[in-house]
Every structure is written in C-alpha cells, then in structure tokens.
Amino acid sequence: MVGGGEGAFIGGVHRIAARLDDRFDLVAGALASEPARAHRSAAALGLDPTRSYADFEVMAREEAARPDGIEVVSIVTPNHMHAPVATAFLRAGIHVICDKPMTRTLEEAEALAEEVRASNALFVLTHNYTGYAMVRQARAMVGAGQLGRIRVVQVEYPQDWLTEPVGTDGAKQAVWRTDPTRAGAAGSLGDIGTHAMNLASFVSGLEPREICAELTSFVPGRAVDDDVQMLIRYASGAKGMLWASQVSPGNENGLKLRIYGESAGLEWLQTAPDSLRVSPFGEPPYLLSRGGPGLTPEVAEMGRVPAGHPEGFLEAFGNLYSATADAILAHERGEPRPLGLLPGVADGLAGMRFISAALRSSQAGGVWTAL
Amino acid sequence: MVGGGEGAFIGGVHRIAARLDDRFDLVAGALASEPARAHRSAAALGLDPTRSYADFEVMAREEAARPDGIEVVSIVTPNHMHAPVATAFLRAGIHVICDKPMTRTLEEAEALAEEVRASNALFVLTHNYTGYAMVRQARAMVGAGQLGRIRVVQVEYPQDWLTEPVGTDGAKQAVWRTDPTRAGAAGSLGDIGTHAMNLASFVSGLEPREICAELTSFVPGRAVDDDVQMLIRYASGAKGMLWASQVSPGNENGLKLRIYGESAGLEWLQTAPDSLRVSPFGEPPYLLSRGGPGLTPEVAEMGRVPAGHPEGFLEAFGNLYSATADAILAHERGEPRPLGLLPGVADGLAGMRFISAALRSSQAGGVWTAL
Amino acid sequence: MVGGGEGAFIGGVHRIAARLDDRFDLVAGALASEPARAHRSAAALGLDPTRSYADFEVMAREEAARPDGIEVVSIVTPNHMHAPVATAFLRAGIHVICDKPMTRTLEEAEALAEEVRASNALFVLTHNYTGYAMVRQARAMVGAGQLGRIRVVQVEYPQDWLTEPVGTDGAKQAVWRTDPTRAGAAGSLGDIGTHAMNLASFVSGLEPREICAELTSFVPGRAVDDDVQMLIRYASGAKGMLWASQVSPGNENGLKLRIYGESAGLEWLQTAPDSLRVSPFGEPPYLLSRGGPGLTPEVAEMGRVPAGHPEGFLEAFGNLYSATADAILAHERGEPRPLGLLPGVADGLAGMRFISAALRSSQAGGVWTAL
Amino acid sequence: MVGGGEGAFIGGVHRIAARLDDRFDLVAGALASEPARAHRSAAALGLDPTRSYADFEVMAREEAARPDGIEVVSIVTPNHMHAPVATAFLRAGIHVICDKPMTRTLEEAEALAEEVRASNALFVLTHNYTGYAMVRQARAMVGAGQLGRIRVVQVEYPQDWLTEPVGTDGAKQAVWRTDPTRAGAAGSLGDIGTHAMNLASFVSGLEPREICAELTSFVPGRAVDDDVQMLIRYASGAKGMLWASQVSPGNENGLKLRIYGESAGLEWLQTAPDSLRVSPFGEPPYLLSRGGPGLTPEVAEMGRVPAGHPEGFLEAFGNLYSATADAILAHERGEPRPLGLLPGVADGLAGMRFISAALRSSQAGGVWTAL
C-alpha cells in the first residue's frame, strides 16, 4: 500500500476491503511520505519494519526484487501522487489498484494509460460503487435490453460535509481535497462527480459525448468547485443530468441513479444499496434485493449474508478487491480480458476527460463541450 | 366554469376543489364549445339549462347582466383558449380562476396581464401545488431565513404517461396536450415544467435569471417536447436544475423540490405531501407534518383532518379555491393585496417567460438564455 | 345530520365526504343537544332555520313527514347517542349513516341490529378505512386466492395524541372519548381498535374466534384504556396480533395491515394509502398504486385524480358516501343486497362483540375469550 | 472455531466479523464432526493441518497445552452442541464466543452458566444486533431517560424463508434449524424470537416478567414452530408484543424495534440499520444516523466509514468481535466487568428462560407464564 498512513480515510477502507474475503495480506507499505510517520503507521499495522518504506520508488524496486515481493499495490494517496506511484509499480511489473480520480490532470492520465498498455501488470481503478450487487444487476438488465432503448439518465451525488469552510484545523482529507495542487483543479467534480459519471456509464453502457457544466464554489475562499450541475448528451441520443454537491445540508452520501428507457425504468440509491426498483411501463414497479429472487445468475451469487441482512459500502469495495484477486489469477492463467467488469485505465481516462471537459465548459461560461 | 365538459380531466378537479370547503356553488357554465356537448355536460352536472352556454362570450355578457350572476369563473379549457376566455370575463368584471399555463404564447400572456391590470376583477392562476400546507411551510421557513442564503435549488417533475405514442384513440387530454396548436409549442415544458419552476420560485423566493434548456421529443412523431432538462442561474447567485419528463416509466406525478442554503436544507415530495424534511447543517434532520408540531401559525391551521390522516392533491387544490373565496371577500372590503399568497397574473407571466426562454434556449442548441 | 355542531371533529369530515362527489345536500340537522348551540351551528352551515332541530326525535318525525324530508341521516354524536338516534330514524324510515363504534354497549348493538332488521331503511357504518381503493384491492386479491390460505394477520393502529393527560381545557373530543359514560368502557379499544379489527376482517375475510387482550391505561387518572395489545385466533386457523395505542409518541394515525398467506403477503399503511405492497413468495415484491396498472376492474375505476396525485382520508370517506348514494338508488330499484361492500349493522355488531370480548379478556387477567 | 465447515452459513459470518478489524487470526478449528469434512474445510481456509481437529475436546485440550494456543474459540455449531463445546473450552481456560441461542435446553443453560462462573475465561454470546451503532444509541437514550418511563415495547422479526416445506434436499441450515433434536424444541422462537427478545431487553433495559405466547407450525409436517406471537408484561409495568415469523412472504430479515415512553418514542429497523428515528412527544421526529450529528460520544466513534456510506450486518457483527478483543485485553489487565455491553451468559440464560416460558405458555393453550 502506498499512502493510507495515520489520519487518512480511504487507506483504511482499502485495507478492510482487501481483508474482507481473505484474499489479500498486507505485507509492505510506503504509508506516508514523511519517514517517521510512514514507519509509525507501518508499525501500527504490524508490518515487518524491513518492508516499511518512506519512498514509493524504493518500495517498487525492492518489492519487485524480493522472491516474496508484493503481487499488487494499492495506491491511496492524494490524487496528485496517483500517476507517479502507479507508473513506478507498473514498470516494476506489480499490479496496481488505484483510487480515483485516476490522476490530477488529463495529461497525466493519458501518459498513465500508455504505461498500462506497455506493462504486463493489471491496473484496477476503485470506482467502488460498481461493486454493489444491485448496480451489477442494473447493468445486466440494461445490457439485456430490459429497459429498451435508453432515453434519460439522471444521476446525482449530494453530500454536505463541505457546507462550511474547512479551517486549518480541518480534517486531513478535507484539506487536501479542497487544495488544487493536490486534488487537481476539480473539487467536488473530481471527488464525487467522477463517481456519479462512472456509475451512470457503467450501468447504462452509454458514452457521454457532450456536456454543459456549471461549477460553483459556494464557500468563500474555496479554490475548487463544491457544487456541479450538468447536462449530458450521450452518443446514443439519450439525455442526462448530473448533480454533485458537497454543500447540500442533510445529504450524507446520497449517490442515486435513475435510468429510463422506452419500456422500463430503474432506480438505485447508495443509502439503500441492497435494493433496486424496476418499473416496466404499464406494469407495477417491483423491488429486487441482493440475495433475493429475480436476479441474474452472476448477481445472485454476490453477497456474503442472506437477503435482508444489509451489506454496505465496505462489502461493495470488498467485491472489487475479490474480483481483483480473481483477475490476477485469470491473468496468470493467461486468460484474455481478465479484468471482466472491473474498472480500469479506460474508465480512469474517461473520468479525466470528463473532468477536463467539465472544467472547460464551465470556464467558458457554460457551453456545450465535447468529451 | 368554461371548459370541463364530458371527458375532460381538470374540470372535475376544479369542481371538487371548489366544493370541498363549501365556499362556491356551480351555477353556470360553457362547458364545451360544441353546443350539444355543452348542454349535455351541463345537464349531467345539474345546471339550470338557462345558464348553460355554448359560447363563453355570451356567458360572460349574460352572467354579468344577471343580478344573481356568477362572481367568479373557472377556466379549464385547453391552453389556447385561456387568454380569450379570461379576457372576456375580466372585461365583464367577473373574477377569474384560470388553469395553467396561463396562455399559449408569451404575447398572449402580456396582453392578458394588461387586461388584469385594467380590470377591477381578480385573477387567480391555479398553480395548485402551492396550496399544499407543507409547501407553504417550506416557503415560510425559507422566508424567515432558516436555511440561510440559498445556494442550490433542485426541482423535478417526472411522469410516465406519455412514454408511448398517443393514438387517435388516445385520452382526450393526451391528444390536446401534445398538439402545439392547442397546448402551445411547449409539451411537458408547459404542462409540468411550469409547475416545477413555479414551485421552486414560490418556495425559494428566488428569481430565475438565465436558463440553459435541453428539450427533447423522444417519442417518434410527437410535435412537442416530452422531456425537459435545464440548468438555472438565479438572480441571487443560487444555482438550480429542473427536470420534467413525461416519458420516465415508474413515475406517476413525482414532483419533488429540494432547497439547500448555507445553514439548512429541505425536501418535499408531492407523493408524500403531508411531510417536509428539514436538515439543519450539523444537526439531525427532522420531519414536519401537516397538523403536527413545529409549524408556523398560518400553516398549523391548514388542513381539514388531523395529522397522520393524509390529505392530497384535491385538498391542496381546495386550499387555493378557499383562499380565492377569502380573497374575493377581502377585495370587496377594499383590502390591498387581497390575493395574499395566491398565484396570479405575475406568476402566469413569469411562467410564459420561462417557457419562451426555454424554447429559445433549446432551439439555439442549448445556450444560456435570459428570462 | 345529528351531532357535528361547533367544536366537533368528525361531523365536519362527514360533511366534506358527503359533498365531495356532489351526491348529497345537507338540508337539516340536530347539530347539538343544547338548542342555542344547535341553531348557531345550523346557521353557520347555512341550514334553513326551520330545519334546525334541538331534538333528534323531533327531527326524525318532522323530516319523515315532509315531502322534501331527508332521505338519509348522518349520526356523528358521541358513542352513547348512536343507538337512540339511529333507532329514531330507522323507525321513521330514514336511511342511517352512523359513525363507529356502533353503540356504547353490546346490548345496545344487539337491540339496534333488531331495529335494522325490522326497518326498511338502510344502515351504513362508517368504517371509513374500507373506503380506500388499495384496501379494496387488497380485499379483492385475498378473495381471489392470490395469497393462498391466510396464515398471519398483523394489524396495528398507533397514535400519540393522548400521551399526556387531557385537562378540563382539553379538546372537546379528547374529553368525551376518555369518558366511559359517553364513549363506553373502551377507550382506544373502541376508538381505533375497532377500526383495526374491522380492517383486518374486511381485507382478510376471516372471522376472529378468540382473543387474548391486554388493555392498559397508562396515563394516571384515565378511566379507559389508552393502549390495547391482543392476540387473535381466527376461525380458519390463522393467527393474528392487534395493537392500538394512543400513547405512542411519533405516531399520528399509523393504521397498518399486513397479511401473509401460503403463497404471498401484502402490506398497506394509512399514511401512504395509495400504495399496496404485494409479495408473492419467491418473487420480487411489487407495488400497486391507486390508478396504476395491475388493479381489478372495480378498483381501477376508483379515485378522482390520476395515479401519483395523492388521495387521502377524505376521499376514502367520500367513497363510502358515494357508495351509500348508489346503495340508496339500488335499494329504490329493489335490488337485493344494495349495500355491496359497505360496512353495515353486522360489522357494527361484530365490533361491539369484539369490544366486549376484549374487555372481558382483559378484566379476567388476559385469558383467551370467545367473541 | 468449532463448527462452520463446508456448507454452513454462520461460521463464515463469524470469520468475516473476526477479520474485519484485524483483531483476530483464525489458526485452529474443529470445523465439522466428520473428520474428512473437517480437514477439507480446514484446508480450504488455509489452516495448519496440525491444528485441524475432528474432535472439539481434543482441540480444547491440545490448544490449551500449546504455547501459541488459541486465546478464544468461536462456537458456530448447531444449537445442541453449544453447551458441550463451550464447557470443554471454558474448562481449558479458553475464552468462548458462542452463537445463540446459548443451548438447546434451559437445563443445559443453567449448567453452562455454572461453568462460566467457575471459569476464569470470558463467555460472549453473539446477539449480534446489539452491535449496531444505532442500537447502542437507542439503548443510551433510553438509559439516559430521554424517553421517560417506558410504556410500550413492540418488537418483531419476520422472515419468509421457511414459507414452504424444506425438502431433504433443503439447505443444510434449514434442515437442522427445523429439527428439534438439534435446534431444540423451539423453531423460529429460538432462531429469531430470542434475537427479538434480546434486542428489546438490551435497548429498553426492561426485564420481561410474564409472557403469553402463541406458537404455530403452519407448514404441514414441521416439528417446530415457524411463527411466534406473544404478549409481554415487563416487571416495570411496561407492556409489549413480540412477533417472529419464518413464513411471512416478503420479509427477508425484518427485525424492528419500537419503544414508547412518557415523553418520546424511537424506532429502529435492521434493514436500514444506520438510521434511528426519535420522536419526542409534541416535537417533530428526527433522524439520527451512524456517524452523523447528535450521537453520544461512544456511539459517535462507532463505524468504519463516514455517515451515509452504509454499514450492515457484518459490521455490526464485527463490532462484537472487536469489543471481545477489547474485553480480553481488559480481562488481562484485571479490569472488573471487562465485557461492558457485550452479551454474555446472563443474556444466554435469559434467552433460554424466555424460550422455556414461551413453550410452556403455548403448550398450556396460551396462558400467562412467568419467566
């Protein structure tokens, strides 16, 4: 693991997700860029001190050289470090699991895509919401044509945690996530807007072609957007809206997706993730649940506990990790397309194109901009 | 009543709304433009045959001349007839309750606004959602500053009843509502988009200044939009989105409003209209209910049955009718501003400006357009 | 109308319900037992003073003698007056709409049942929750065998308005409803427990055979129960629970019914009355809505506004009134069983037997007691 | 771990729960009573073959003798093995985490309680629903008097998975859970009824004194109850109902608790476990959420991901495991009452007394029976 030392949030999530299904052991890390903090964090996690690194490049080199070196690295640093770290490990032949957004800039993303292409190692991007069973079910139903041709795609991701200014005593992540030098020029756009866009694309299978974006920084002194409103034209002719906000009191992590086609609609909400509402036109809407009746065979097998015992965010994240373990084994067996439905570099690149286009659209005063 | 004969929908709603609190008697009507149908409809409603008219101009003239003539007329025709009918009655000195959108075109709306200004009669526009108790509560809370300065206004009104083409055997209202010569150039925009915009303005107290609209006719052969997606810049600096759709399967009449300010948010949904969710930043969200604790004195008095016994669409509509009765009495007493919170000609004009700007924005390819 | 003068609650509800579909005119009343209050109330409602009575027996006699006398009387007095008033009008040949519980005691109920049998007039008991469209749908589905043999019937009706003692300055209805000389020995049992039991029987079609009841008066000094908990054995072998409470903070009028059979379950909740959840075993649960797809033909016709525009308590009450108008016409045509699904004297008698058995069960320390 | 081999359900849950916070390593097991299956299961979990046992008594003896022997054992066998296995490990001085119900019979439970008293080892019973953050919050609020004196306690746990007969090809757990020789005389009563009762007691702090139970086996040929309905008199004077069912189609794991006191009510539902509804009398109800505002300091620290990212069943289970790790450390430091809020032998004994009383009440035809 690179990043994820003391005080970090997402590193701990990745560690639990990796542990959940007992498919990974955490054995090495460059958990912080400051050596003392890195080693203190490593000790707290019980790492062998000889495998606690202060420098990710050293870690990549030395782990690659060990017979018992790591097979895969998780990158959970602030955004601006994703590209250099990923590059180092890919070049060392070590598989990469990278948090999103993939990089800080589109240029970095394109360069990283080249690195992935050139490497034999796998690259997985943790668009973790794609790991929910009912998101997979939604995707399968759209793919099977159960909604008919898609017309409307509505996605939103409201939060409220940045409603007020983040002081210098603010939470570590609030500080870096609102700092363009570390998070990139996009604030809520990069942090949660990309999740929303990725989810809409993952489930609908549609490619956004043009967007018209309104980015706003409502909190005085904030250097990045904290609210994103957007119209989207998909290549297929479908139309969509996207809203991401970090200043909407009463919303915790309200990621919600609604898709409407010629013959049916569906609705999914992260705060009740084990449920999927499906509404065929002219018939009563029905409710699918994880582990319940009416699922595709692949989705029916997802989950660790029976229907009605809620699974949540960590389980969805764990699904990506377990799928990554499967992908590594498939890769070792030489199977083509070992990643399956796992998000990868193409999704990361799409995300950075999306961010870039949104920034350009907004800066131009809200004009339709091609991705 | 003008319009509302056999087979019509909204006429019956107006009649129930008028009857609900026993403040009105229906005594005359030009219920249809075709004489036989008009008289058949009048007979079915038990009208005195001498007060069943086939021509609204005759009705206006004759009723104005009778000592027991009507005090107020309800106009429930297709949109293109609103302006001429309203004009006739206003000139006759008879108060007007008019369904929305106010007219078919902006030009008609401006002319009608002149007529209202010139008349001593009152003009009420039935933006009926403003009649819900919890909508009034939401407005009062925003007005009292309980949300702080407003940042984000999200409103939507999805339906599904026009998901498929309306045949020649279609419901009467589906036919005229998708016919530009009778409904105007706007389809879902005029039918429900105006309701959504009006609701957002009524509660937020904000004035939309510019919009960027994407109107789509998804159903082949349909002459008007059946889906509207829109970004809105309010004059205050607040930002908003608006979605209205008649082709989204699984949505019946899902009008929903969410408003977020610097210090709190609120959420209201027409399908559960007796409830209002309020979320002060940094505190647990709470639920207000019609008739329950925590309401303003004016709202606490609204409603005919105790909290927990649901009221609905007809009761909200009835609230507008009862307020109109109050307004007429206040007007007779010579009180200034007798309409109070009732929507009137200014709202109708704002609605037509909104429609006009949305049509222009969309026709220009989705450019920001001033209202 | 008898009862329903100034300060009363349910009288106003009956008047709106009667007016809603324009099938009744209120022309006479004995609105209060105190003459001045009776006439003042009558004047406020615009009754002809010659038809405002201070004595219900005079009213029955005089109205029966008039050529334009009332066809039907609504009895909305406190419970102890139901039997004498109903008897007077039945003997005068005037149809009766009576609020529930039917009488104050079982003995009165049995006597009244005799009066109904002996009279040519109709007797309707306003178990108003049976008027909801989705309750009708639920009944139809059970009756058609869609749930299979019924196993479990869970019904509850929690309120909170009597959580604290009602002072002498309390609301008029709170005072009489907690006074055994006027409401009967049952408090919450008679007021809402009977509604719950009636609803369960109406939908399930099952006959309760034995009950084991725990009645509690939680509020110090209260002379009647304010909480009822009960186990029910149905004659068919089905088992059920019933809970009614007026001291459960956070519940307004939470009437809820759940029925489970060998092959499906269903759930209905008064606070969202336009929706019915149906759950066939082994299939995804689905949601029926008033006006939506999948209803029986009779239920599909119910409602005054389209699906998604909520109807509520008053509309359900109005459905009973309109059905009563139909029943009177059917009766005049000499049709057998003109009441159809309307609750009548048999339901009232069943309700009083239920109350009586519950009181006996509880007084005996909670023993199983036959109805 | 004892039990939890191939095909078992709850063993896997315990393993994930133990792993979630990285406080335990699974190093030994007697995973099945049949040696080949035990070793196959152990190999699948990567256990050292020398620590895979076919006999739990051998395991207890040998692990106790090892310097690196296990500190704690998880017992996840069918119910009839809980007592002998727990006894063996307690006598060997090894801490025990035991699934519930604690034993098959009350006599076994009393004997086991003696064993716990005589042992220096800790005994934890996995009433896992007590591990939910919002359940802890509810308990804290009741304990702090925020509801006032408790009046009514309503708890229910409906499921549907045993709606139809379980064939010989049924799921392993369905088979043993409906077999009285392995599960005990109680079916749904022992399986989920005890969870419901435990939850009600844990949150309310009240002691049930008498119960009146109706146990039913609806499915032909089933030897144990599949539906439990019960009235409960608490020692404090509070009254309650309990419903547990495994034959109610449309319910997955609908554990729900509602508690009403003199001054407030609260409501919690396992299918939305991160939320708690609190309703002070005379004030608007509000919603607490895990990680959100308004929690006690202890509860505010619970959870691994921010508010709005759902946690579920496994996380609650993991909370018990992590608290057990804390308890073991506290025990080693010689602290009194190291278990804190963890359920232990007293809860297990209370559960068995509850089962015993319910069986006696029901067999006697539904009479009030002291616990």
The per-residue pLDDT for range B3-38, each reduced to its tens digit, is 999 888 899 999 999 999 999 999 999 999 899 999
Contacts of B154 in chain A (CB under 8 A): 156, 243
Instruction: Give the CA distances from residue C138 to residues A110, C145, C259, C323, in Å, rounded to whole numbers and listed in that order.
Output: 59, 11, 9, 18
* Tally of helices (H runs) and strands (E runs) in chain A: 13, 13
pLDDT of B185 reads: 84
Q: Which of B241, B260, B282 sits opposite A229 (nearest CB)?
A: B241
Q: With left for phi above 0 and alpha for psi between -120 and 50, is residue A250 left, alpha or beta? A: left
B70 Cβ contact partners less than 8 Å away, ≥ 6 residues apart: B27, B28, B63, B94
Q: Lowest-confidence range among C27-36, C57-66, C171-180? A: C171-180
Chain C: closest CA distance from residue A281 (Å): 9
pLDDT at C177 over 80: no
pLDDT of D194 reads: 97
Burial D7-36 (b: 16+ CB within 10 A, else e): ebbbbebbbbbbbbbebbebebbbbbbeee
Q: Which of D45, D253, D308 sits opposite A308 (nearest CB)?
A: D253
Residue that the structure tokens 């004035």 belong to: B207
pLDDT of A9 reads: 84
Q: Which of D233, D241, D247 sits opposite C151 (nearest CB)?
A: D247
Contacts of B243 in chain A (CB under 8 A): 154, 241
Q: Which residue of C has its CA nearest to B23?
A: C45
Tell me the C-alpha distance between D37 and D29, whole Å.
12
Residue that the structure tokens 């009221």 belong to: B311
C135 Cβ contact partners less than 8 Å away, ≥ 6 residues apart: C129, C199, C202, C203, C257, C268, C273, C316
pLDDT at B174 over 90: no
**Which of C230, C242, C236, C251 is closest to C200 using CA atoms?**
C242
pLDDT of C267 reads: 98
User: Strand B208-216 and strand B369-370: pairing?
Assistant: antiparallel
B120 Cβ contact partners less than 8 Å away, ≥ 6 residues apart: B93
Interface contact D273-A306, CB threshold 8 A: no
Interface contact D309-A311, CB threshold 8 A: no
Tell me the C-alpha distance between A43 and A52, whole Å.
8
pLDDT at C171 over 70: no
pLDDT of C172 reads: 66
Contacts of B188 in chain A (CB under 8 A): none
Contacts of A245 in chain B (CB under 8 A): 152, 260
Once rounded to an integer, what is the mean pLDDT over residues C284-295?
A: 98
Structure tokens at C74: 């609504």
Q: Which residue of D has its CA nearest to C245?
A: D152
Interface of D with C (CB under 8 A): 151-152, 154, 156, 160, 163-164, 212, 214, 216, 218, 227, 229-231, 233, 239-241, 243, 245, 247-251, 258, 260-267, 277-281, 285, 365-368
Q: Best mutation site among D15, D157, D252 for testing chain A: the one with the most A CBs within 10 Å? A: D252
Binned at pLDDT 50, 70 and 90, residue D168 comes out as low
pLDDT at B170 over 70: no
Contacts of C163 in chain D (CB under 8 A): 262, 281
Q: Which residue of D has its CA nearest to A158?
A: D308
Once rounded to an integer, what is the mean pLDDT over residues B126-139?
A: 98
Q: Which residue has the higher pLDDT, D281 or C173?
A: D281
Interface contact C304-B254, CB threshold 8 A: no
All domains in chain B, ordered by first residue: 2-121 (3.40.50.720), 133-306+347-363 (3.30.360.10)
Interface of C with B (CB under 8 A): 9, 12-13, 15-16, 19-22, 45, 159, 161, 251-254, 270-274, 289, 291-292, 304-315
pLDDT at B2 over 70: yes
Strand stretches in D12-131, DSSP E = 72-76, 95-98, 123-125
pLDDT at B172 over 70: no
pLDDT of B20 reads: 96
What ipTM does this complex have?
A: 0.95
Once rounded to an integer, what is the mean pLDDT over residues C320-341?
A: 96
Interface contact C310-B313, CB threshold 8 A: yes
Binned at pLDDT 50, 70 and 90, residue D171 comes out as low
Q: Which of D9, D304, D313 sits opposite A310 (nearest CB)?
A: D313
Interface contact A310-D312, CB threshold 8 A: yes
Q: Which of B20, B292, B309 sits opposite C313 (nearest CB)?
A: B309
Chain D: closest CA distance from residue C244 (Å): 11
- Map B142-174 to HEC letters: HHCCCCCCEEEEEEEEECCCCCCCCCCCCCHHH
How many Cα atoms within 13 Å fall on the side-chain side of residue D293?
A: 15
Interface contact A272-D310, CB threshold 8 A: yes
Do the beta carbons of residue C201 and residue C207 sit within 8 Å?
yes
Mean pLDDT of chain D, nearest integer: 95
Interface contact D311-A307, CB threshold 8 A: no
Interface contact C260-D280, CB threshold 8 A: no
Angle between helix axes A82-91 and A106-118 (nearest 10 degrees) is 10
Q: Which of D163, D227, D285 sits opposite C281 (nearest CB)?
A: D163
pLDDT of A38 reads: 94
In percent, the amount of chain D with pLDDT more than 70 equals: 98
Q: Which of B282, B286, B289 sits opposite D286 (nearest CB)?
A: B286
**Which of A89, A96, A37 is closest to A64 using CA atoms?**
A89
Q: Lowest-confidence range among A181-190, B172-181, C212-221, D290-299? A: B172-181
Tell me the C-alpha distance between A136 and C94, whole Å.
65
Tell me the C-alpha distance between B323 and A38, whole Å.
69
Q: Lowest-confidence range among C79-83, C178-182, C283-287, D350-354? A: C178-182
Beta bridge partners of D210: D233, D370
Binned at pLDDT 50, 70 and 90, residue B168 comes out as low
Interface contact B233-A251, CB threshold 8 A: no
Mean pLDDT of chain A, nearest integer: 95
Do the beta carbons of residue C71 and residue C95 sit within 8 Å?
yes
pLDDT digit string (tens) for chain A, length 371 residues: 999 998 888 999 999 999 999 999 999 999 999 999 999 999 999 999 999 999 999 999 999 999 999 999 999 999 999 999 999 999 999 999 999 999 999 999 999 999 999 999 999 999 999 999 999 999 999 999 999 999 999 999 999 999 999 865 566 667 777 888 887 788 999 999 999 999 999 999 999 999 999 999 999 999 999 999 999 999 999 999 999 999 999 999 999 999 999 999 999 999 999 999 999 999 999 999 999 999 999 999 999 999 999 999 999 999 999 999 999 999 999 999 999 999 999 999 999 999 999 999 999 999 999 99
* Phi, psi for B20 (deg, rounded to 5): -50, -45
Binned at pLDDT 50, 70 and 90, residue C219 comes out as very high
Burial D103-139 (b: 16+ CB within 10 A, else e): bbbbebbeebbebbeebebbbbbbbbbbbbbbbbbbb
Tell me the C-alpha distance between B76 and B100, whole Å.
9
pLDDT at D170 over 90: no
DSSP C21: T
Interface contact C285-A284, CB threshold 8 A: no
pLDDT of B224 reads: 95
Interface contact D286-B289, CB threshold 8 A: no
Contacts of D308 in chain A (CB under 8 A): 159, 251-254, 270-271
Do the beta carbons of residue A288 and residue A278 sit within 8 Å?
yes
Interface contact C249-D227, CB threshold 8 A: no
Using CA of residue B267, residue B272, residue B276, residue B282, what is the dihedral sign? negative
C335 Cβ contact partners less than 8 Å away, ≥ 6 residues apart: none
Do the beta carbons of residue D209 and residue D370 sit within 8 Å?
yes
Interface contact B282-D289, CB threshold 8 A: no
CB pairs under 8 A between B and C: 103
Interface contact B9-C306, CB threshold 8 A: yes
pLDDT of C272 reads: 97
Interface contact C252-B311, CB threshold 8 A: no
pLDDT at D173 over 80: no
Interface contact D152-C281, CB threshold 8 A: no
Q: Which of B159, B161, B304 sits opposite C314 (nearest CB)?
A: B304
Chain B: closest CA distance from residue D205 (Å): 25
**Which of D266, D150, D203 is closest to C218 using CA atoms?**
D150
Angle between helix axes D133-143 and D313-332 (nearest 10 degrees) is 70
pLDDT of B197 reads: 98
Contacts of D318 in chain A (CB under 8 A): none
Q: Which of C164, C266, C368 sits opposite D366 (nearest CB)?
A: C368
Q: Which residue of A has its CA nearest to D12?
A: A304
**Which of B111, B122, B58, B43 is closest to B82 using CA atoms?**
B111
pLDDT at D172 over 80: no
pLDDT of A3 reads: 95
Contacts of A293 in chain C (CB under 8 A): 282-284
B43 Cβ contact partners less than 8 Å away, ≥ 6 residues apart: B49, B52
Tell me the C-alpha distance between B62 and A67, whole Å.
101
Interface of B with D (CB under 8 A): 278, 282-289, 292-294
Mean pLDDT of chain C, nearest integer: 95
Q: Which of A163, A241, A249 sits opposite B241 (nearest CB)?
A: A241
